[in-house]
Amino acid sequence: MIKAAYFHIPFCAQICHYCDFNKVFFKGQPVDEYLQAMEKEMKNIIENFPAAELKTIFVGGGTPTVLEIKQLDRFLNSIYKYFRFNVNEVEFTFEANPNELSKKKLKLLKEAGVNRLSFGVQTFDDKLLQKIGRTHRKHDVLQTIEMAKEIGFSNISIDLMYGLPEQTIDHFRETLNIAFSLDVEHFSAYSLIIEPKTVFYNLWKKDMLPLPTQEEEAEMYEWAMEQMERHGYKQYEISNYAKPGFESRHNLTYWNNEEYFGIGAGAHSYVHGKRNVNAGPLKKYMNLIQETGFPYIESHEVTLAEKMEEEMFLGLRKTEGVSKEKFVQKYHRSLYDVFGNQIAEQKQRGLLEETDTHIRLTHRGKLLGNEVFQAFIGVI
């Protein structure tokens, strides 16, 4: 039974220059009609695919906290109407921009059972924030996190980025120092990826995007790993670090290759062996909900071979790696029966290592993770 649900709110006050997620400007959009369509999708999902009691809920975007108070309240009530979960046990995450959370909104979220906040901070360098299209500044982050703690939030995550245009290693070190001073429970640290259909992609194509070298980016990643460990944050996934007990249970659903609901425009889901993709444009999403009850534009029955490949390239993202025992339990074959040659080759390259219970990336393997993951795709 499915125990995780993702909800997508695609509205943003400002579109960041690097972002390729499904999003639209908030102003002038049919927000109330969209929330109504989302509620209908929730109803249809639960009627057709009965859920277990949810253990994780994640609301992402876009920027979910751009919603007005009444809209936020309506959306949260919809979740409670259709999904079962224990407010004392569920991990209930909301993504947020530091400059868009009033005390009133924070209190509403807290009273509604939201117990984890994920802030898109990216950097504490104000000039760099402006350069990447963010609307908040360093003081907004400090102020909002302090306010969230005062209201009672005790599970806060911060997203950071490295490899940004004109970002130096010293810039990134300073950002990490400020981040650690906030004493939050979780960090995600991602390298910039230039995605098509973004401002940065267009600049990059014109050779107008001055990026750090690959060596500098690798140095930033190694510095992050070293400093996170030093400050008590355990790396449990390639880009994620947590104090003990504060790992993102929702994201572990993905990396453990487990099924989940995905609701909203552009959301992905993995339900009853099928991976589904929802329509991204708001009008198309709402029309499909109205016409068919489901907004799917793609639906793929995952084959056994694909499941085993996904088990490898998703599981290897975790620092503990892929469990030999769980692989046998799920697929009734040993890891070496299926991927013996690939494991041997990556071990020989020094990118994989083996423990009694797991196959996992080495330190060097973390730096070349995408190469390792690629080795397990399309080989069965």
- Read off the pLDDT of residues 195-238 as tens digits, 9 standing for 90 and up: 787 666 676 677 777 888 999 999 999 999 999 999 999 999 99
Q: What is the DSSP string of 263-296?
A: ESTT-EEEETTEEEEE--SHHHHHHHHHHHS--E
Report d(CA 6, CA 262) in Å as an integer: 5
Residues 6+ away with beta carbon under 8 Å from 44: 289, 293, 294
Domain boundaries, the chain: 4-255, 322-374
CA 250 to chain centre: 9
CA 52 to chain centre: 22
pLDDT tens, 169-202? 999 999 999 999 999 999 999 998 777 876 666 7
pLDDT tens, 108-157? 999 999 999 999 999 999 999 998 888 889 999 999 999 999 999 999 99
Report d(CA 152, CA 110) in Å as an integer: 8
Q: Do 217 and 161 meet the contact criterion of CB atoms below 8 Å apart?
A: no
CA distances from residue 191 to 113, 231, 362 in whole angstroms, order as listed: 32, 21, 19
Q: Which residues pair with 228 in a beta bridge?
A: none
Q: Looking at the domain that runs over 4-255, which CATH code has it been given?
A: 3.20.20.70
Phi–psi pair at 363, nearest 5 degrees: -60, -45
pLDDT tens, 40-73? 999 999 999 988 899 999 999 888 999 999 999 9
